[in-house]
Amino acid sequence: MTNLHCNIAGIDSINPFWLASAPPTDKYINVKRAFDAGWGGVVWKTLGIDPPVINTSSRYGVHHDRSRGILGINNIELISDRPLAINLAEIEQIRREYPDRVVIGSMMAPIEKSAWQELAVKIANSGVHGLELNFGCPHGMCERGMGSAIGQVPEMVEQVTRWVRQAVDLPVFTKLTPNITNILWSAEAAQRGGCHGLALINTVNSITSVDLDLMAPTPTVDGKGTHGGYCGSAVKPIALNMVAEIARNAETKQMTISAIGGIETWRDAAEFIALGASGLQVCTAAMLYGFRIVEDMKAGLQNFMAEKGYAHLDDFRGKAVANTVDWNDLNLNFDSKAFIKQAQCIGCGRCHIACEDTSHQAIRFDTNSQGLRRFTVLDDHCVGCNLCAHVCPVPDCIEMRTVDNGQPRLTWPQHPKNPLRTDVPVSKNTEV
Ligand SMILES: Cc1cc2nc3c(=O)[nH]c(=O)nc-3n(C[C@H](O)[C@H](O)[C@H](O)COP(=O)(O)O)c2cc1C
């Protein structure tokens, strides 16, 4: 039997799926619907000090693929635009009605000790399980010295985290912005400030498109646009990397991570857990597909765990961290070749043209007497780059097969061509 029950920074949750701070967690009715659909918790839409902010019309830009699928969305929304007292009363109500679900209060204030501490105490008194410090918002709030304006300065991340820790006796998550050069600087700063967990990532600074009639970035507000925060499936690779960086860094590897960024499916969730995340937060996928996506996420994750023999999330948490290494630690003698399964090939030629025009001219194109197109890999030219397998529209039609070349494992520090090589012996040790 698999069990999704988990503990995230000291908070028990019936499953690891929380809704991230955003419109889906903006008010009682949304959160009630989310809990009825099966979400384990929510991070309430970021609360600030009154008077509430003013939001614009419109607010979202979208990056479509060519079939109108949505790769990512960009928003220029600010924090909650509802009075604090109403939000806090709704939090109290939802806590009473759903005692087994987690509610985290997200917060943001000007960079003054009293502002952060007074707001933290007010939110704590509403009965939340923990607080999340929003140092991530890359638009609007940062221009007022909040959000990513704090998150981009490690000293401020540390200071504000410490202020909140001093004010309340609750688990505190520091939510990090990806709009920095090195995520470890802010992660380590948050740790020094005493946070119980890191939440990442917030949105990525972006312009999704330009309206060529209005000649302005989208979304446009009365003919003008601005940069906004990008999120959804497209940012998952950025988030995975940042989570992995924290999970494999000596100073931060013990930290609890609440992973956010492009989680749409059980597989996304499992990948973040494999890279060390304890909890998962979802925003865009819920906005695009509704709250019931959590049903597929939970069922898929449980099926995966049952198949692999994992009873609890902890059984595979962080299992991919040791295999996430610096480039220099990859085996330069490892070799693989593409193999085209002829029975599955539809003869479209995408593999051929990708390889012929942009790679290694390793896929031969023949036409037989009936005019049928046949593509075959020239092993001598194939460097195992994978491009053909990625562009092939038929899943599993092109397989990358490992070649046993009898060569020992050889990393760059060990390589004879490395000018910095001292006397590192070539090793057959396969351990990383
Ligand atoms: C419309 C919108 C509003 C958001 N508002 C907030 C917010 O108030 N506070 C916050 O910490 N993050 C906010 N976020 C960021 C999300 O919580 C989350 O970090 C980000 O969207 C990445 O997750 P996703 O790819 O699942 O959407 C917002 C995101 C969107 C799309």
Residue 303's domain spans which residues?
6-315
**Are 101 and 176 part of one and the same domain?**
yes
Domain count, the chain: 2
Q: Is residue 84 part of a domain?
A: yes
Q: How far is the CA of 21 from the centre of ligand 1 (A)?
A: 6
CATH classification at residue 106:
3.20.20.70
- pTM for the model stands at 0.95
**Are 360 and 300 part of one and the same domain?**
no
C-alpha to C-alpha distances, 3 to 40, 102, 196, nearest whole angstrom = 13, 17, 24
**Are 176 and 74 part of one and the same domain?**
yes
For each of the chain's 432 residues, which pLDDT tens digit applies? Answer: 899 999 999 999 999 999 999 999 999 999 999 999 999 999 999 999 999 999 999 999 999 999 999 999 999 999 999 999 999 999 999 999 999 999 999 999 999 999 999 999 999 999 999 999 999 777 777 777 777 788 999 999 999 999 999 999 999 999 999 999 999 999 999 999 999 999 999 999 999 999 999 999 999 999 999 999 999 999 999 999 999 999 999 999 999 999 999 999 999 999 999 999 999 999 999 999 999 999 999 999 999 999 999 999 999 999 999 999 999 999 999 999 999 999 999 999 999 999 999 999 999 999 988 889 999 999 999 999 999 999 999 999 999 999 999 999 999 999 988 888 766 555 554 443
Q: How far is the CA of 236 from the centre of ligand 1 (A)?
A: 13
Q: What is the largest CA-CA distance in the chain?
A: 82
Query: Which atom belonging to ligand 1 lies closest to the Cα atom of 285?
Result: 26
Pocket test for ligand 1, best of 231, 243, 272 (most atoms within 8 A of CB): 231
User: Can you give 334-393 as a three-state secondary structure string?
Assistant: CCEEEEECCCCCCCCCHHHHHHHHHCCCCEEEEECCCCCEEEEECCCCCCCCCHHHHHCC
Question: Which residues are tagged catalytic?
Answer: 137
What residues flank ligand 1, with Cβ below 6 Å?
Answer: 20-23, 45-46, 73, 75, 77, 79, 106, 134, 136, 175, 202-203, 231-232, 235, 260-263, 282-285
Query: Which atom belonging to ligand 1 lies closest to the Cα atom of 235?
Result: 25
The tokens 């040791």 sit on which residue? 322
**Closest Cα to atom 29, ligand 1: which residue?**
22
**Are 263 and 375 part of one and the same domain?**
no
| Cα–Cα distance, 151 to 136 (Å, whole number) | 6
Pocket test for ligand 1, best of 283, 287, 294 (most atoms within 8 A of CB): 283
